[in-house]
């Protein structure tokens, strides 16, 4: 049995979507863990879902990063439990320092909600191993503060250590300014930590994980987690 836990914050609006996606892929009931709890049940991986935690007051993800449950999430992440942060969950990962950089206002200063193309630049991580290297996937975005920013030294380190998991691209896989929906530096859509076990990404894979939703390109994020867990247990 594969055990996934989804952290629920006040203002989360994708926690149920992630629950449905993880349960469909793992075949097991997901733990829904309230932000005010003090401990996450033993889990094979933890999801920080999208939404507007705490109404995005102060700064996106800033208040959620200090929720009581996050002390245990951070401790478990540092002990090796895989974590995926999607959209607002990515913002939370950055606010906790589990991943480097920041997510600032979209370059257009507008909320953007549409499908985009992303290219998998590193398919050797916990959450990406079911994608082919440089495979292009179509996934939705829905954010106002998805413009990834970091200093040049951090960006160079991400590149040198192959920590950029996904980049915004065209349907042909070409990384261009025109394919960048929010102004993210180097078209970065998602990054991992050096272990490959912590992933933050702005697009929503749970919103395209089955044909009824219009596509399945996001499903392989969750399938990758299942494969990783099974390989570790073998």
Q: What pLDDT band is residue 41 in, cutting at 50, 70 and 90?
A: very high
Q: What pLDDT band is residue 233 in, cutting at 50, 70 and 90?
A: confident
Active site residue 159: no
Condensed to tens digits (0 to 9), the pLDDT of residues 147-179 reads 999 999 999 999 999 999 999 999 999 999 999
Does this model's pTM top 0.95? My answer is yes
88-96 vs 68-78: helix crossing angle, rounded to 10: 80
Q: Which one of the listed residues 14, 60, 144, 206 is annotated catalytic? A: 206
Q: How far, in Å, CA of 84 to CA of 67, rounded?
A: 17
Q: Say what percent of the chain tops pLDDT 70.
A: 100
Specify the DSSP element, H or E, that contains 46.
strand 45-48
Task: For residue 47, list its beta bridge partners.
Answer: 6, 84
Q: Which one of the listed residues 60, 87, 120, 130 is annotated catalytic? A: 87
In the chain the domains, ranked by start, together with CATH numbers, are: 4-233 (3.40.50.880)
Condensed to tens digits (0 to 9), the pLDDT of residues 60-102 reads 999 999 999 999 999 999 999 999 999 999 999 999 999 999 9
**The pairing of beta strand 83-86 with beta strand 45-48:** parallel
Q: How far, in Å, CA of 129 to CA of 14, rounded?
A: 23
The answer for residues whose C-beta is within 8 angstroms of residue 175's C-beta and 6 or more apart is 119, 167, 168, 169, 187
Active site residue 204: yes
pLDDT of 234 = 81
């Amino acid at each position: 049995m594969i055990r996934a836990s989804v952290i629920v914050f006040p203002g989360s609006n994708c926690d149920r979507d992630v629950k449905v996606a993880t349960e469909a892929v793992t075949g097991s009931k997901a733990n829904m863990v309230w932000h005010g709890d003090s401990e996450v049940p033993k889990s094979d991986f933890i999801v920080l879902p999208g939404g507007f935690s705490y109404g995005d007051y102060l700064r996106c993800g800033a208040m959620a990063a200090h929720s009581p449950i996050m002390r245990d999430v951070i401790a478990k992440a540092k002990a090796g439990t895989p974590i995926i942060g999607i959209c607002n969950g990515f913002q939370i990962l950055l606010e906790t320092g589990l991943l480097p950089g920041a997510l600032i206002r979209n370059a257009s200063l507008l909320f953007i909600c549409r499908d985009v193309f992303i290219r998998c630049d590193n398919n050797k991580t916990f959450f990406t191993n079911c994608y082919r290297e440089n495979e292009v996937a179509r996934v939705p975005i829905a954010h106002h503060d998805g413009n990834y920013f970091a200093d040049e030294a951090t960006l160079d380190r991400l590149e040198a250590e192959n920590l950029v998991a996904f980049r915004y691209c065209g349907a042909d896989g070409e990384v261009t300014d025109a394919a960048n929906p929010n102004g993210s530096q180097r078209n970065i859509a998602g990054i991992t930590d050096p272990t490959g076990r912590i992933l933050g990404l702005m697009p929503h894979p749970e919103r395209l994980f089955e044909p009824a939703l219009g596509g399945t390109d996001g499903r392989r994020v969750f399938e990758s987690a299942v494969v990783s867990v099974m390989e570790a247990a073998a």
